[in-house]
Chains A and B, each alone.
Chain A
Amino acid sequence: MRILVALWALSMVPLAAQIAVRGDIVYTMAGAPLNDGVVLVRDGKIERVGPASQIPIPNGYRTLRAKVVTPGLIDAHSVVGLSGWLNQPHDQEQLERSAAIQPELRAIDAYNPRDELVSFLRKFGVTTIHTGHAPGSLISGQTMIVKTRGTSVEKAVVRAEAMVAAALGAGARAEQGRSPGSNPKAVAMLRSELIRAREYAAKKEKPRDLKLEVLARVLSGELPLLLHANRAHDILTALRIASEFQIKLVLDGAAESYEVVDAIKASGFPVVLHPTMARASGETENLSLETAATLRKAGIRVALQSGYESYVPKTRVVLFEAAVAAANGLTREQALSLITLEAARLLGVDSRLGSLEPQKDADLALYDGDPFEHTSHCTGVIIDGELVSDSVQ
């Protein structure tokens, strides 16, 4: 029986399981970048990392060369796979408007791993996305973490239930004549529902209730509330709700977060910052290109996101977002961390992802120059030890 299991496990290992990646600069994100570094990949995991002078490449390893090697990039909040490329009703699964509060909607039931935008992001070196339901209703549904590979969500998934997506401000407003129609109404509805969930959780005998089961897990701290809030006062409202219910919060968007740095810092909650390429209008009219640097310098955990786009273009690219951060107050390494290790930590997957260290998943991105320069190219992408892209993008 043990042999059978071992054979089955072997059959799951992709071809070319042994790869050596040698880079002029290897950003491991675990210590200083390596000059002329080598990353050995075996059976889907990182085997060894170090200077080429100290790590001989064993026989049978396929060697890939690159100017720059980074961990596979992590997009800390996206809707890719749910909000499809074509933007037609049939490929838009990120928002269901029949009710304001729908935490029972699972991201895994909505994800299309074959959507063009999944492979589009992958070609820039994005190997992991935290994706799911979009801002647009008070509680729109769940999010999940997937690799940008696989032909089914089962093959792609890293964590099937990551967070519960919610929104304040304009993102929470229901259509004409339905609630919530105002900010305080949205907060009242959210508080009522969390109180109901608390009472539900306390009951010993209870009928199953998919909504309240999920919210009970938010209350227990198992699932963070990913709360979209851009205006400074909406961010403070988010913190007020988190404090009342003692829930874990991840601030999403947070365009005016630089105005309330002290309060965010005191809360200890992290920020998944809006894309700067998103238009500075409406609730994001005061967005600043320097916010990532401001928050980081204040000691607030920050990661970057491609966000939600309702029209052309259909997604942003976190590689470009980190480049903006690098040009506006952060060092290159700090900016890179916002789409690698810091993102992994924020998402709670840093034991597997986010840096090039032995035993971690072999997710790597290869570039022919500074990855942040728009004139550079991603020349290779490795996910779980498999070369999934070697075309130049």
Chain B
Amino acid sequence: LFWFSALLMGQPTPIAFTGARIIPIAGPEIANGTLVVQNGKILAVGGPGVAIPGGARRVDARGKVIMPGLIDTHSHIGSVEGGDSSASMHPDVRALDSINVRDARIQKAQAGGITVANIMPGSGLLMSGQTVYLKLRDGKTIDQLIIPGPDGTPAGGMKMANGTNPRGAAPRPGTRAKAAAMVREQFIKAQEYRDKVRAAAGDASKLPPRDLKMEGLVEILDGKRVVHFHTHRHDDILTALRLAKEFQFKIVLQHVSDGWAVAEEIAAAKAPCSLIVIDSPGGKIEAKDNNYGTAAVLDRAGALVGFHTDDGVTDSRFFLRSAALAVRAGLPRDKALYAMTMAGAIMLDLDKRIGSLEAGKDADFLLLDGDPLSIYPHVLETWVDGVRVFDRSDPKDRLYATGGYGASHGQGNHVHLCGDEEVE
């Protein structure tokens, strides 16, 4: 319950943004739109006829675009860490125990319009730990950023990886087949553990001793924790799907560089894809065929497509480029905007709360001074739970948007690209 008490919710005075071009995602664009928020929630969205409560603060948003907050389904902001080199699988390790909420990259993400991020440990291990879904509120403690799940515990998934990143000397796997065998072995143990717990039926004398690793895996088996599976190569993607099918776990494919090559299989498995859009292919063999067109191919095949920054592989402030570059390569515009918002919400099981501008949903949104797919406009304001967390007209906030001296102040010494465990 302490998670709730820490939350900073929006003011009781309603705020009405009027005259904006609103992209609600949940329906067609509204040319002369009104958005009303109160107590951290959306009260109403619609045209000029929307009733504005008496006493509401009115904001003239003519010339502005309002859209839902961006959802980054894979990020490493907050100097996040995961498991260490003592083992390949760390289902007991929680990302939330490592996050520095004062990391400047969280401010930069707010400046980029990101309101919710799935903060993940790295891909240097088969299972590097539990991920955590954060609302990018202005908070001094991790508790203030957490999103409580249905049982009150922090919402999050589990990070897994295959392909070359998690390979290495023991205890890491040396081959792809070994990697899959190690994963299967642990999940089978977890099934046995779960069965013992079930058989005990609450009888303490029959319960197995608590095992945090097994508990983490059982949460996956029970569908409580989605597996965010780092995978690039076409055959590795299929291996991830094979494991998900065998153990009936919920999966979101992450990166999916070769997704274009196995789009039919991905769609048939109903596996959502969170893609990274990067300037160029290459840099490692598995990413040699990464291209802007994967989103369009997957979308045509019927797969759910979202995007992520993988910050620091790409900078959160440039997240909207993902959608624009995917449109360049054939993804329809509405699908690209959906991918930045609602698709991400679905992948994080938060679609009832976030991802679109609809009455009753969280008041997470951004204001831009132009079209979100154009290079020229800027994010002017970012709001989370009805609270403005980024304001470009404030010089302190603007520094994070543009960069400049001190813009990375407070950043930890997290070496994302070269460190043994944190390679993406």
Contact = CB atoms under 8 A, between A and B. Distances in A.
A238 interface: no
Interface in B376-397: 376-378
A85 B408 contact: no
A92 to B, nearest CB: 11
A11 B99 CA distance: 66
Contacts of A276: 403
A314 B403 contact: no
Interface string A312-353: 111111001001101110000000000000000000000000
B251 interface: no
A256 interface: yes
A310 B281 CA distance: 13
Interface stretch (B87-95, B134-142, B176-184, B323-331): B323-331
A87 B283 contact: yes
A222 B29 CA distance: 59
Contacts of A377: 328
Nearest to A279: B312
B274 to A, nearest CB: 16
Main secondary structure of the interface of A (DSSP, over half): loop
A374 B375 contact: yes
B199 interface: no
Given A88-B285, A277-B318, A289-B402, A315 B279 contact: yes
A87 B283 CA distance: 5
Given A87-B283, A120-B281, A313-B283, A286 B376 contact: no
A313 B411 contact: no
Contact of A323 (B327, B375, B378): B375
B137 to A, nearest CB: 23
B66 to A, nearest CB: 20
A32 to B, nearest CB: 21
A256 B411 CA distance: 17
Nearest to B317: A289
A311 B417 contact: yes
A323 B402 CA distance: 14
A312 B165 CA distance: 13
B315 to A, nearest CB: 7
Main secondary structure of the interface of B (DSSP, over half): loop
Given A277-B318, A374-B321, A374-B373, A317 B328 contact: no
A261 B146 CA distance: 43
Given A86-B285, A314-B282, A314-B283, A287 B403 contact: yes
Given A256-B405, A286-B406, A280 B280 contact: no
B301 interface: no
Most buried by A among B290, B318, B325, B405: B405
A297 to B, nearest CB: 15
B5 interface: no
A152 B234 CA distance: 33
Interface string A277-302: 10111000111111000000000000
B212 interface: no
B302 to A, nearest CB: 23
B315 A315 contact: no
A320 B377 CA distance: 15
A314 B280 contact: yes
B278 interface: yes
A86 B288 contact: yes
Nearest to B312: A279
A280 B315 contact: yes
A285 B103 CA distance: 13
A372 to B, nearest CB: 5
A313 B280 contact: yes
Given A85-B288, A374-B321, A327 B281 contact: no
A312 B376 CA distance: 26
B281 A116 contact: yes
A120 B280 contact: yes
B261 interface: no
B284 A87 contact: yes
B282 A312 contact: yes
Contact of A374 (B312, B325, B406): B325
Given A259-B405, A312-B313, A328-B402, A373 B374 contact: yes
Contact of B287 (A312, A324, A328): A312
Contacts of B281: 85, 116, 120, 313-314
Contact of B279 (A116, A258, A313, A328): A313
A117 interface: yes
B424 interface: yes
B279 A285 contact: no
A59 interface: no
B282 A327 contact: no
Interface string B280-316: 1111110110100000000000000000000011110
Interface string A80-95: 0000111110000000
B350 interface: no
A391 interface: no
Contact of B404 (A117, A286, A317): A286
A312 B315 contact: no
B282 A116 contact: yes
Contacts of A280: 108, 315, 403, 407-408
B402 A317 contact: no
B374 A309 contact: no
Contacts of A375: 324, 327-328, 373-374
A281 B411 contact: yes
A376 B327 CA distance: 9
Interface string A357-384: 0000000000000001111110000000
Interface of B: 108, 278-285, 287-288, 290, 312-315, 318, 321, 324-325, 327-328, 373-378, 402-408, 411, 416-417, 424
Given A85-B281, A86-B288, A281-B416, 4 more contacts: A85-B282, A315-B279, A317-B279, A324-B375
10 smallest beta-carbon distances between A and B, as pairs: A312-B283, A374-B324, A314-B282, A285-B408, A85-B282, A313-B278, A288-B403, A313-B280, A314-B283, A288-B404
17 contacts: A86-B282, A116-B288, A277-B315, A286-B407, A288-B404, A310-B283, A311-B284, A311-B417, A312-B283, A317-B279, A328-B402, A372-B375, A373-B324, A374-B325, A374-B327, A374-B373, A376-B328
